[in-house]
């Protein structure tokens, strides 16, 4: 059994990692860290895990993560860049669920995250953890930067169209909606039920940190500059992200977009291109690792509209991180990720 550590085990993505890994036949979680809950049993804080783990949370400084084969950082931005290098130097492999290693441009990273990078030498070596694009590189990576949640839903929604001369790459609009768990477990007024329930609001409309991350990937794949307007919304649900992406046409598609999508994603275990005319729902992916999507051309006009849904904690975070771990450790890619969504 490979030994796995989780830094930040009390957070929503940390406990989701434990849920997914509890039944993984080839790995064992040997440490979950928490500063605030050190000494407490994991299944005391999360009774959903009773019967599946005997672990107690340990303080980060007291956990010997260097004996692990792979460590997940499920921590706020700015932690992995300080703590991961010591593990990496000892040969431990790392998957960071935060944004520390996602942007290759360090100046851009500092502008968006408001700090200077503590381990720039590892930014260059990090592989961006979107298996649909970088599967082979992920297999050999020592450090994987797991993508953001809005980013995963939006990037997968448009990948097949990138580089097509009949798409206006300068006028792409992504309108995304996220459930409250996307903000993590820390108390915040805007995610209180009395504030977020029965209400929908935009946030960071002037510019969100996921904007440069989406643009970075699309620019590489399309081999041209990207003009993206990205506006996220908080909606009254716990899990889920829906991204509606609008892509103007500047010519007739060379292939029926539906067929193009089906062909592009034909071999992908975690992308489901739904039949023409479908409207994906977040509840159809609740708790599983799928990205479901549908492509429309409203009224046969000059705009393509793609709707894509994921569970922010699964394909948007912990599930994708486990998918990356499977590739890194040589396990079948879908191991521990083949559950059916909860419905209703």
Ligand X SMILES: NC(=O)c1ccc[n+]([C@@H]2O[C@H](COP(=O)([O-])OP(=O)(O)OC[C@H]3O[C@@H](n4cnc5c(N)ncnc54)[C@H](OP(=O)(O)O)[C@@H]3O)[C@@H](O)[C@H]2O)c1
Locate 128 and state its tokens.
């961006």
Q: How far is the CB of 338 from ligand X (least distance, A)?
A: 21
Q: How far is the CB of 65 from ligand X (least distance, A)?
A: 11
Measured from the Cβ of residue 265, the count of other Cβ atoms closer than 10 Å reads 19
Task: List residues with catalytic annotation.
Answer: 149
The site for ligand X (CB under 6 A) is made up of 7-14, 34-37, 60, 74-77, 79, 97-98, 148-149, 181-182, 184-186, 312-313, 316-317
- Nearer to ligand X by C-beta: 60 or 280? 60
Task: Check the CA dihedral 317-269-95-65 and report its sign.
Answer: positive
- Nearer to ligand X by C-beta: 34 or 288? 34
Comparing every residue's Cβ against ligand X, the nearest one is 11
Locate 87 and state its tokens.
């593990």
Q: How far is the CB of 260 from ligand X (least distance, A)?
A: 28
Instruction: In whole angstroms, give the CA distance from residue 54 to residue 70.
Output: 20
Instruction: In whole angstroms, give the CA distance from residue 86 to residue 94.
Output: 11
Phi, psi angles (nearest 5°) of residue 7: -90, 125
The residue whose two tokens read 């672990």 is 55
Instruction: In whole angstroms, give the CA distance from residue 228 to residue 157.
Output: 14
- Nearer to ligand X by C-beta: 34 or 243? 34
The residue whose two tokens read 């830094």 is 7
* 3-state DSSP helix/strand/coil % of the chain, to nearest 5: 35, 20, 40
The residue whose two tokens read 């460590």 is 71
- Nearer to ligand X by C-beta: 243 or 258? 243
Instruction: In whole angstroms, give the CA distance from residue 287 to residue 317.
Output: 11
Q: How far is the CB of 98 from ligand X (least distance, A)?
A: 3
- Nearer to ligand X by C-beta: 34 or 284? 34
Q: How far is the CB of 178 from ligand X (least distance, A)?
A: 8
Omega within 30 of 0 (cis) for the link into 88:
no
């Amino acid at each position: 059994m490979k030994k796995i550590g989780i830094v930040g085990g009390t957070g929503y993505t940390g406990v989701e990692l434990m849920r997914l890994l509890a039944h993984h036949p080839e790995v064992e979680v040997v440490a979950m860290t928490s500063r605030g809950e050190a000494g407490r049993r994991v299944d005391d804080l999360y009774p959903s895990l009773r019967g599946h783990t005997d672990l107690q949370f340990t303080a980060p400084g007291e956990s010997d993560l260097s004996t692990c084969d792979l460590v997940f950082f499920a921590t706020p931005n700015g932690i992995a860049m300080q703590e991961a290098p010591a593990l990496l130097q000892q040969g431990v492999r790392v998957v960071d669920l935060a944004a520390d290693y996602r942007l290759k441009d360090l100046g851009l990273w500092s502008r968006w995250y408001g700090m200077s990078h503590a381990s720039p030498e590892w930014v260059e070596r990090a592989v961006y953890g979107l298996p649909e694009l970088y599967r082979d590189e992920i297999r050999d990576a020592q450090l994987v930067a797991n993508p953001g949640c809005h980013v995963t839903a939006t990037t997968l929604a448009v990948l097949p169209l990138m580089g097509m001369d009949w798409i206006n790459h300068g006028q792409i609009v992504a309108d995304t909606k996220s459930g409250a768990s996307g903000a993590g477990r820390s108390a915040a007024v805007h995610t209180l039920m009395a504030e977020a329930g029965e209400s929908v609001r935009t946030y960071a409309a002037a510019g969100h940190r996921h904007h440069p991350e989406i643009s970075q990937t699309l620019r590489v794949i399309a081999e041209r500059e990207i003009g993206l307007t990205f506006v996220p919304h908080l909606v009254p649900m716990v899990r889920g992200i829906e991204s509606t992406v609008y892509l103007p046409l500047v010519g007739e598609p060379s292939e029926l977009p539906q067929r193009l999508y089906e062909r592009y994603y034909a071999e992908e275990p975690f992308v489901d291109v739904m039949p023409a005319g479908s409207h994906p729902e977040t509840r159809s992916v609740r708790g599983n690792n799928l990205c479901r999507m549908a492509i429309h051309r409203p009224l046969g006009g000059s705009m393509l509209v793609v709707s894509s849904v994921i569970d922010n904690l699964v394909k948007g975070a912990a599930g994708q991180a486990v998918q990356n771990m499977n590739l890194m450790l040589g396990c079948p890619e879908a191991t521990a990720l083949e559950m059916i969504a909860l419905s209703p």
